[in-house]
Amino acid sequence: MKVAVSGTSGLIGSSLVSFLSKKDITVSKILHEDLINNEIAWKPEKGDWDSAFTDGIDGIVHLAGENIAAGKWTKEKKEKIRSSRIEGTKRLCEHVLKLSSPPSVFICASAVGFYGDRGAEILNEDSSRGSGFLSDVCIGWEGATNTISNAGIRVVNVRFGMVLSNAGGALAKMLTPFKMGMGGKIGSGKQYMSWVAIDDVTRAIYHALITDSLKGPVNVTSPNPVTNKEFTKTLGRVLKRPTIMPMPAIGARLAFGEMANELLLASTRVEPKKLLDAGYHFQYPELEDALKHILNAV
């Protein structure tokens, strides 16, 4: 099987390339930089492609996009987030439609931000969209794949929750203050966090590649979301550190601006219904086991 992957320098992309390679899958990286063997050049802002990206690709995993958690959401930052996902995906899909032998499956990243701030409501792929900037981005992001879906290519829009890894992402940023005993809940601590271990992210993407019944939106989150308060206590317990330094909601908003409302204070309680129905078995369904594995704690 031959699979092309974009966003390979990111947290998920780098882990996915390593995982797929161990499955004897030939992986081509879609990159912007100087290339070496088996890599594909792409300039999404222009829609330009290396001539090497023609036929013979069985599947595409599209993960590229501006980092949403790096820096405050200024007007310029929000436009980069939106454009990198929606316009970039549109241009990639346009290229796929030009291939004489297009791939049979196209997996495109999305996020549980689709659902917005929903309190304790249990959400699955049939739930309605939410409101806010991230929800709007996710709607456009997923909608950008409609052209190839309508052309008969199987499209899977993987809605990622908070990906847990010690190599980057939200957890890596939490570790220093928590190890110093300065960790604590954010806001009320009642907001739900839909998390997933990086190992399950890569395995779920592979499952989507080889499972013909999976298409459309697919939540990639642990079946056991927790509140921020539960997450805080569990991380402190695994690290053997106190968690007595809460961050009030007003402090989060002052520090992070609009991003705080949608990434830190919003409550999104998501279940991975379609993945479970398709026979996927989570390697780390419970938060404490996931954190112990990721952090090599005992």
Report d(CA 146, CA 244) in Å as an integer.
47
Pick the closest to residue 287 from 239, 238, 244, 241 (CA basis). 238
* Tokens of residue 138, six digits: 């996710």
- Regarding beta strands 2-6 and 59-62, do their DSSP bridges make them parallel or antiparallel, or are they unpaired? parallel
Give the pLDDT of residue 51: 47
Question: pLDDT tens across 1-14, in order?
Answer: 999 999 999 999 99
Question: pLDDT tens across 93-135, in order?
Answer: 998 998 888 999 999 999 999 999 999 999 999 999 999 999 9
* Tokens of residue 155, six digits: 């499209």
Residue ranges covered by each domain of the chain: 2-295
Question: Percent of the chain at pLDDT above 90?
Answer: 82
Report d(CA 144, CA 264) in Å as an integer.
27
Give the pLDDT of residue 297: 67
Say which range, 24-33, 138-147, 166-175, 231-240, has the weakest mean pLDDT.
Answer: 24-33
- Regarding beta strands 39-43 and 48-49, do their DSSP bridges make them parallel or antiparallel, or are they unpaired? antiparallel
Residues 162, 269: contact at Cβ < 8 Å?
no
| Tokens 């882990």 found at | 15
3-state secondary structure of 139: helix
Give the pLDDT of residue 72: 87
| Tokens 């797929």 found at | 20
Give the pLDDT of residue 39: 56
Residue type, 276: L
Give the pLDDT of residue 35: 47
Report d(CA 263, CA 280) in Å as an integer.
27
- Residue 44 or residue 173, greater confidence: 173
Question: What average pLDDT does range 229-253 have in this prediction?
Answer: 95
Q: Please give the model's pTM, rounded to 2 decimal places.
A: 0.93
Question: What average pLDDT does range 71-100 have in this prediction?
Answer: 92
Give the pLDDT of residue 56: 79
Give the pLDDT of residue 164: 97
Chain centroid, CA 270 distance in Å: 14
Contacts 24+ apart (CB under 8 A), 52-57: 53/4, 53/28, 53/95, 54/99, 55/99, 55/100, 55/101, 56/2, 56/101, 57/2, 57/3, 57/4, 57/28, 57/99, 57/103
Pick the closest to residue 264 from 68, 7, 65, 12 (CA basis). 68
3-state secondary structure of 130: coil
Residues 11, 169: contact at Cβ < 8 Å?
yes
* Tokens of residue 281, six digits: 């078995």
DSSP state of 296: T
Question: pLDDT tens across 242-280, in order?
Answer: 999 999 999 999 988 899 999 999 999 999 999 999 999
Average pLDDT, the chain: 91
DSSP characters for 88-106?
A: HHHHHHHHHHH-SS--SEE
Chain centroid, CA 159 distance in Å: 6
- CATH number corresponding to 2-295: 3.40.50.720
Give the pLDDT of residue 204: 98
Question: pLDDT tens across 26-67, in order?
Answer: 998 887 654 455 555 555 544 455 545 556 789 999 999 999
3-state secondary structure of 294: helix
